Amino acid sequence: MLLKGYSTSYYLLCVVAFLSMLSIMVTNPILSLFAEEIGATGVWIGYAVSGYWISRVVLEIPSGYVSSKFGYYKPMVFGLALTVIGNLMLVFVNNPVQLVFVRAVKGFGAPFFFAVSMTFIVNLFGAEKRGTAMGVFQGIEFIGTIIGSAVSGKLVQELGWRGGFMAALALSVAALLLLVVPPHIRKETVRGPTSKPLTIREIFGVLKNKTLMIMAAATVAEFIMTNGLIITIVPLFTRGTLGFSLADVGYVMGARSLGFVVAMFTMGSISDRVGRRPVLMFGMTATAILVVVMSFFSTFFTLAAVICIIGFTSGAIWIVGPVISAEAVDPSQRGAAIGAYRTFFDLGSVIGPILMTAVMTDYGVKYCFYIAAALLLVNVPLTYMIEETGKTEGAVMAH
């Protein structure tokens, strides 16, 4: 899979995304343990994880309007700057309320970088290359997830929580500088979209699109599983119940990221050849089955293996999600469609940690696995309703 003729700004943006994701993941996979350590219990652990996503929910769709009005570069710089500020504040957090607040500050910055950069990538390529380009972009971005997840436990074990947060701050500063200092992204994106800015009515009008709403439902279910079960419950379960060391918890989370990146580099090009719907249905069905299987494992190697495979199957959902959403609407509305997709991405990430910590507290860990799997399976028949209509440049590909 060679990316011949792709611009320097594309590759540079991939590196910036890698550093941004790495800054998130050097502490995020075990953040529920930090919340517990500073006094959070029960659902408050869920609130601490969800704080980041709550603020994102309200800004994902508006970020499409911002990019259509001001172009891509300025919103991306603004988003990374907020991330740097949030990482700086995180160094001084010492109670659960402060943690929720700081996580919300970081969440305000995320849509302006991640959603806008995805819109930029979608509009940079034609339909025949879009899946591959998005897959490579997210694959490089989530190599940061592999490294960050794998070293998170060891890093905090050696440097303490403050040291981990300082490392996250340094990485986010590096990402911001790489976006601002070289001229490539600024020169290519300062021109902004070629169409006139979307109106607020047009922005929210994309929510009437059937395919977008089907993808939204699937996305909510997937992120309830990812951020509710995997990111929040699994660290608590492996550390508190199974007695894993902090480093081993990080390695298990890193295994998921490894599978995820493999999907990012393969499933995009596969979806370009066989269509988006088969890849989406495979991801939803296989992930649900594996989540149930995971509930029966309790050793380091078996959990790491199954979570690695879940990373691959759930990665199939992640890569086709924004592509299906963008291709379901007119090209001028793609920013709004990506924003809508990411809003439901965030909504699942808000609901998941709160729901799963409540279920764990009242009914036990096993039910978290069963509920996550059931939500994925319920959405499989809906995804079958997405109709593929070919691969024509500039055309709507899925309805």
Indicate whether 1 belongs to any domain: no
Mean pLDDT of 366-392: 84
Are 53 and 349 spatial neighbours (Cβ–Cβ below 8 Å)? yes
Task: Give tens-digit pLDDT for 238-267.
Answer: 998 899 998 899 888 888 878 887 887 788
Task: Give tens-digit pLDDT for 51-99.
Answer: 888 877 777 667 666 776 777 888 899 999 999 999 999 999 999 999 9
Task: Give tens-digit pLDDT for 274-325.
Answer: 888 899 999 999 999 999 999 999 999 999 999 999 999 998 898 888 888 8
Indicate whether 354 belongs to any domain: yes
Indicate whether 272 belongs to any domain: yes
Return d(Cα 71, Cα 83) in angstroms, integer: 20
SS3 of 388, please? strand
Indicate whether 394 belongs to any domain: no
Supply the pLDDT for residue 3: 53
Nearby residues of 169 by Cβ (< 8 Å), 6 or more positions away: 23, 84, 87, 88, 90, 91
User: Position 20: which residue type?
Assistant: S
Q: What is the pTM of this model?
A: 0.73
Indicate whether 4 belongs to any domain: no
Nearby residues of 301 by Cβ (< 8 Å), 6 or more positions away: none
The confidence band for 165, taking pLDDT boundaries of 50, 70 and 90, is very high
Q: For the packed helices 127-180 and 116-124, what is the interaxial angle rounded to 10 degrees?
A: 130
Number of domains present in the structure of the chain: 1
For residue 270, pLDDT over 80 is answered with yes
Host domain of residue 301: 9-383
User: Position 223: which residue type?
Assistant: F
User: Position 257: which residue type?
Assistant: S
CATH number, domain of 270, equals 1.20.1250.20
Supply the pLDDT for residue 200: 59
Return d(Cα 201, Cα 65) in angstroms, integer: 10
Indicate whether 399 belongs to any domain: no
Task: Give tens-digit pLDDT for 175-216.
Answer: 999 999 888 777 765 444 445 555 556 666 777 888 888 898
Alpha-helical runs (H) found in the chain:
8-25, 31-37, 43-57, 60-70, 73-90, 96-110, 116-124, 127-180, 184-189, 200-205, 210-223, 234-236, 246-274, 276-294, 300-327, 334-363, 365-383
Indicate whether 388 belongs to any domain: no
Indicate whether 2 belongs to any domain: no
